């Protein structure tokens, strides 16, 4: 349901994305791995229109993004796409002037215009699901990093998106909180949510993802089921990356 073809993004003289092609089916959990600077975050941000690109296209359930930038893409197209695809950020980006509940309500109330009673009931349910039912009237600054990220996930889920993009969701968290968040994401994955996850959490990529893509210098160098990529990588780049990960010691996740 998400189709990316020949995506090229140039920043100054650098080809940040150098012809990226891949697709994600409904219900599929795709993990994107690779060394820093490989273009993983940029790829995600192109998919939901936060960044523009120079060539190729992105298609999500009938909505197509083309090259050229904000001038070409109408606000309508972008909004339509973003309703189908939600995003969870490395820095959470909760709204500090709202409570936890209000954060989760912000999408349904102000974008979908769902009646308040109904939206609230659903929001409570979601917060329950991520384990934060006690914190409804807390403000983001009162929460730990892991709690904030879980609210961010609930906030994205409140829009009932077809797919969710996770941009290094645990990179800003210490191992214990990362574990909390990763287990929430794992639950989501197991319940059939389509997702693309850029991550360094190898355990998740190995045990939960259906497909693993390895990105290096703006290209996807290897794709396949986790078993194949981790046990029998085809590319030298993949081998080098995985061995770097092993010598560092896998993160205790």
Partner 1 sequence: MMSVRIRRRVVLVLPVLLVGISATVSADTLDRIRGRGSLRWGGDQSGGAPYIFEGSDGKLTGFELELAEVLATKLGVRGEFVQGQWDKLPQLIDRGDIDIVLNGYEWSPERERQWASTVPYYVYKLQLLVRRDGETIRSWDDLRAGPGQARKRIGVLIGSAAERYILERFGDAVALKPYDGVTNAMTSVEQGQIEATLQDVPIAIHYAPEFPLLSPVGDPVAPGHYVILVERSEDTLRTRLNEAILGAFEDGTLKRIYEKYGLWNADQLELGRIARSWPPAVEVASTDSSSLPHFGKLLLDAAAMTIALSCLSMPLAMLAGLLVSTGRLYGPRWVRWPLELYVEFLRGTPLLLQLYVIFYVLPNMGVRVPAFWSGVLGLAINYSAYEAENYRAGFLAIPRGQMEAALSLGMSTWTALRRVIIPQAVRIVIPPVTNDFIALFKDTSVCSVITVTELTGMYSRLSNNQPHLVLQLGLMTSVLYLLMSYPLSLVARRLEGRFKRVAA
Does 139 bind partner 1 (CB under 8 A)? Our answer is: yes
Lay out the site mask for partner 1 across 37-76 (x = CB under 8 A, - = otherwise). -----------x-x--------------------x---x-
Lay out the site mask for partner 1 across 72-101 (x = CB under 8 A, - = otherwise). ---x--xx--xx--xx-x-x-xxxxx----
Mark the segment that binds partner 1 (CB under 8 A) among 107-115, 123-131, 197-205, 206-214: 107-115
Interacting residue with partner 1 among 11, 26, 72, 111 (CB under 8 A): 111
Q: At a CB cut-off of 8 Å and minimum separation 6, what does 147 contact?
A: 132, 135
Closest approach of partner 1 to the CB of residue 94, in Å: 8
Closest approach of partner 1 to the CB of residue 116, in Å: 15
Mark the segment that binds partner 1 (CB under 8 A) among 124-132, 151-159, 175-183, 203-211: 151-159
Does 155 bind partner 1 (CB under 8 A)? Our answer is: yes
Residues that bind partner 1 (CB under 8 A): 48, 50, 71, 75, 78-79, 82-83, 86-87, 89, 91, 93-97, 106-107, 110-112, 139, 141, 152, 155-156, 159
């Amino acid at each position: 349901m998400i189709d990316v073809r020949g995506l090229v993004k140039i920043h100054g003289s650098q080809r940040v994305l150098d012809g990226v092609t891949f697709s994600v089916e409904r219900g599929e959990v795709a993990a994107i791995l690779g060394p820093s600077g490989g273009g993983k975050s940029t790829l995600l941000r192109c998919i939901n229109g936060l960044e523009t690109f120079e060539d190729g296209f992105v298609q999500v359930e009938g909505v197509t993004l083309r090259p050229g930038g904000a001038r070409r893409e109408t606000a309508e197209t972008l909004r339509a796409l973003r309703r189908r695809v939600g995003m969870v950020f490395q820095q959470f980006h909760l709204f500090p002037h709202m409570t936890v509940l209000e954060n989760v309500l912000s999408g349904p109330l102000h974008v979908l215009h769902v009646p308040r009673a109904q939206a609230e009931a659903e929001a409570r349910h979601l917060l329950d699901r991520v384990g934060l039912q006690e914190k409804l009237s807390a403000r983001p600054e009162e929460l730990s990093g892991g709690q904030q990220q879980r609210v961010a996930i609930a906030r994205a889920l409140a829009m009932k998106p077809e797919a969710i993009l996770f941009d290094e969701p645990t990179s800003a968290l210490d191992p214990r909180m990362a574990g909390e968040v990763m287990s929430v994401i794992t639950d989501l994955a197991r319940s059939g949510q389509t997702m693309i996850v850029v991550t360094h959490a190898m355990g998740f990529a190995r045990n939960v993802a259906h497909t693993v893509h390895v990105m290096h210098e703006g290209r996807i160098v290897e794709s396949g089921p986790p078993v194949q990529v981790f046990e029998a990588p085809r590319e030298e780049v993949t081998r080098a990356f995985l061995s770097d990960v092993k010598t560092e010691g896998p993160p205790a996740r």
